Chain A
Amino acid sequence: GAVVSQHPSRVICKSGTSVKIECRSLDFQATTMFWYRQFPKQSLMLMATSNEGSKATYEQGVEKDKFLINHASLTLSTLTVTSAHPEDSSFYICSARTSGGAPYNEQFFGPGTRLTVL
């Protein structure tokens, strides 16, 4: 089946620094990728939709200047948390959507990245 990887799986950083999280579709091309945020024992909240070669679409309430998303290729999207603060500590999950071949139009999820800002 289709596999989505994320790197790093866990990161600890100091307040004020920036952190980049990579999301890769390993065996399929994904024109669309999504970034979610999950708080402990809560649901996944959609942050943004990322389309290859164009600007990301952010959900209401998500600061686009704080959460920079780049989707430069059909297999890679990155999320950069700029000037991170403790309230940004969370579990970030990416998802990639298949666009051609089987299974068609299915979203596959990465394992997530645990960000802790000290």
Chain B
Amino acid sequence: AQRVTQPEKLLSVFKGAPVELKCNYSYSGSPELFWYVQYSRQRLQLLLRHISRESIKGFTADLNKGETSFHLKKPFAQEEDSAMYYCALRGIQAGTALIFGKGTTLSVSS
């Protein structure tokens, strides 16, 4: 069965501290992995996808197939990073939908 697990409901850090949002997945095959972000009162938007291997807003995520993990990291958190973060996966077949984890609320305070 396909599943995305985000073990932390809430992560509170101080500004300037490192951040790691955990994501583990279960999927038979090689899925695509994504991180989506939802700022307060805004729609869900793509933050990054594993195949792009890019850094967006200082965030990076590395796919570890051995540990089936796709943790999101940022070395120095900013207050504007406070949001809900969802890890998601999708099969590589055309037309398949994103399956989301339960999300982690990141709260960055000064």
Contact = CB atoms under 8 A, between A and B. Distances in A.
Contacts of A93: 43-44
Majority-rule SS of B interface residues: loop
Interface string A87-109: 00000010101000000001101
B41 to A, nearest CB: 9
Contacts of A43: 86, 100-103
Contacts of B56: none
Nearest to B38: A109
Given A43-B103, A51-B95, A93-B43, 13 more contacts: A32-B95, A43-B86, A43-B100, A43-B101, A44-B44, A44-B86, A95-B97, A95-B98, A107-B98, A109-B44, A111-B42, A111-B43, A112-B43
17 contacts: A32-B95, A34-B97, A34-B98, A42-B102, A42-B103, A43-B86, A43-B101, A43-B103, A44-B86, A44-B100, A49-B96, A95-B98, A97-B95, A106-B46, A107-B46, A109-B43, A111-B43
Interface of A: 32, 34, 42-44, 46, 49, 51, 93, 95, 97, 106-107, 109-112
